[in-house]
Structure 1
């Protein structure tokens, strides 16, 4: 029988558990990071939104809130309707697509706030991360988020084109010729982009056609509700101006907001509104107060949803302990 030397390790047929388990142990931090990156992205975007909102409010938002405050409660009622039209319609869309629960509504509000305050489509990236964190609910969130964003953009461009066809012949005398040319070029470019997407729709979109039509009509409803509600809000704040005139101005506002190559859009709309209505001081105060109220709503909702998120995480930690 062969004798083992002292310096030789004993032979064993059992597998080396430490060696086999090492790769699995090394993978755990990577898997944990993959599971947690949506939450990390959400926290980073929330912090960025708070910083952006603070900058906007300290820059000119608080000055707008200090101006003449509308006394009519109708202004605040219709302002809230116009504010929540977008997240409510988005919720109905994703409710149909994914059967999302009620906690999708705060995420959709964050999506809207991030798109308004941060760079474009940052909110869509956040909502994609939110959906990825709930893959048991949806298999391919990227395609749906992409399609909803594209259809929303196409709907906005088509609406702007229709409004331009109505508003420009009526108000072209109040606008400088070079601005009108810039508006026409911008409208043509936006319409060309939309038509190009529609021509290659089979390669661009991943959702079924019936879902795309549902998204389109919901976006039309959202734009209509937003425009009508803000026009009614302004008519309650300034009853001396007719609702029809406010609707005309809101149509111009919607048109200007969709033009890609037009600088100083807010200033252009404000000057156009003053030329149409007059009462430059009262109107400028109303526009400033509306913008500041929107920023304030962004801030309040961001703080509210952030507090709810922190409370939920604290409850989870208590249950795990």
Structure 2
């Protein structure tokens, strides 16, 4: 049985350095956005201040889509309790502000320490990510095909063609998975179907809510343009080894559309706001960890699984 009662000093140090690295990377990306904006930086702040009130809860909901749908999946696969949302929030933040898929490494370590009933956490995490990537690649290819003419008008391929070639790596991996699927997947077929359905619903909800937020912020912009930009956002998300893709995408839009474009400024503003949500989660979870440490020092009783992110070991 996995011992989760050991002092969390090593975990705390590791979390501290991961968070510090993530903050440093994110601040660097913010600096790149500010440098790209130049004199238009004030326009981003003004844009944030002028956003309709409904944009704010919609943006929070958009932020929570990933961990909430992850919970729906791992609730079925692992019988994960509601407290496991905290670990999934950490995974999401690490993926976004540190390095893509580093959050999955954290979730694997967390599952090994917190969930004694999970005999093979790597298999489940692997399968969930493969299915999610397959559907994400499919949606990207569909939207890229639908908006190919508009993408060509933006001169996207000529400016970033070499970088886009790296995006073929996950696509090639997806094709390999389709060929060797039986040898790659570990979950049962009914579980894989469930994961695919939930992952598909997540992509639909994320896409619709993303377009809705942009349309609420700039209602005069044609809906077709938001679909094109959604395709660009998905293309950027396919690029491997990139952190904080929202800020990267915001920088890209400033490059393609110019700092005087209201659309580019809005996307940069939304990227900065999303970074603010990441930092808020980092600070909030850090405060929770501090409170748990103080409770352990004072000898107050607390849930054993708090040592690994607040989730109890899932039941049978």
- TM superposition score normalised by structure 1: 0.76
Question: Does the Cα contact within 8 Å between 1:42 and 1:126 map onto a contact in 2?
Answer: no
- CA-atom RMSD, angstroms? 3.3
The equivalent of 2:158 in structure 1 is 178
The equivalent of 2:72 in structure 1 is 92
2:206 is the alignment partner of 1:236: no
How much has 1:243 moved relative to structure 2? 3.5
Taking the aligned partners of 2:263 and 2:16, their CA distance within structure 1 comes to 33
User: Which structure has the higher relative contact order (CA within 8 Å, separation 6+)?
Assistant: 2
Go from structure 1 to structure 2 and tell me whether the alpha carbon gap of 1:183 and 1:175 turns closer, same or farther (over 3 Å shift). farther
Question: Does the Cα contact within 8 Å between 2:253 and 2:264 map onto a contact in 1?
Answer: no
Deviations along 1:137-160, one digit per CA (max 9) or x if unpaired, are 312211111211222222221221
Go from structure 1 to structure 2 and tell me whether the alpha carbon gap of 1:107 and 1:189 turns closer, same or farther (over 3 Å shift). closer
Of 287, 291, 313, 1:307 maps to: 287
Moved more, 297-306 or 64-73: 64-73
Deviations along 1:259-316, one digit per CA (max 9) or x if unpaired, are 4599x765444445x38xxx83423321221111111111111111222233234334
Taking the aligned partners of 2:114 and 2:235, their CA distance within structure 1 comes to 37
Over alpha carbons, which structure has the higher Rg? Answer: 1
Aligned length: 286
Moved more, 71-80 or 247-256: 247-256
- For structure 2, the 5+ residue unaligned runs are 35-40, 243-247, 303-316
The equivalent of 2:307 in structure 1 is none
The equivalent of 2:311 in structure 1 is none
Go from structure 1 to structure 2 and tell me whether the alpha carbon gap of 1:132 and 1:172 turns closer, same or farther (over 3 Å shift). same
Deviations along 1:149-179, one digit per CA (max 9) or x if unpaired, are 2222222212211111111134323325635
Taking the aligned partners of 1:261 and 1:301, their CA distance within structure 2 comes to 22
Question: Does the Cα contact within 8 Å between 2:21 and 2:98 map onto a contact in 1?
Answer: no
Go from structure 1 to structure 2 and tell me whether the alpha carbon gap of 1:48 and 1:261 turns closer, same or farther (over 3 Å shift). closer
- TM superposition score normalised by structure 2: 0.77
Deviations along 1:202-260, one digit per CA (max 9) or x if unpaired, are 22221112212222222222122112112111222112213343233223321332145
Taking the aligned partners of 1:256 and 1:176, their CA distance within structure 2 comes to 11
Taking the aligned partners of 2:27 and 2:270, their CA distance within structure 1 comes to 13
Taking the aligned partners of 2:291 and 2:191, their CA distance within structure 1 comes to 36
Question: Does the Cα contact within 8 Å between 1:35 and 1:133 map onto a contact in 2?
Answer: no
Question: Does the Cα contact within 8 Å between 2:164 and 2:239 map onto a contact in 1?
Answer: no
The equivalent of 1:56 in structure 2 is 26
Go from structure 1 to structure 2 and tell me whether the alpha carbon gap of 1:44 and 1:238 turns closer, same or farther (over 3 Å shift). same
The equivalent of 1:206 in structure 2 is 186
Q: Matches of residues 160-175 of structure 1 in structure 2 within 5 Å? A: 160-175=140-155
Moved more, 123-132 or 153-162: 153-162
The equivalent of 1:14 in structure 2 is none
Taking the aligned partners of 2:162 and 2:147, their CA distance within structure 1 comes to 15
Go from structure 1 to structure 2 and tell me whether the alpha carbon gap of 1:194 and 1:126 turns closer, same or farther (over 3 Å shift). same
SS at match of 2:114: coil
Question: Does the Cα contact within 8 Å between 2:92 and 2:103 map onto a contact in 1?
Answer: yes
Taking the aligned partners of 1:176 and 1:319, their CA distance within structure 2 comes to 58
Moved more, 184-193 or 218-227: 184-193
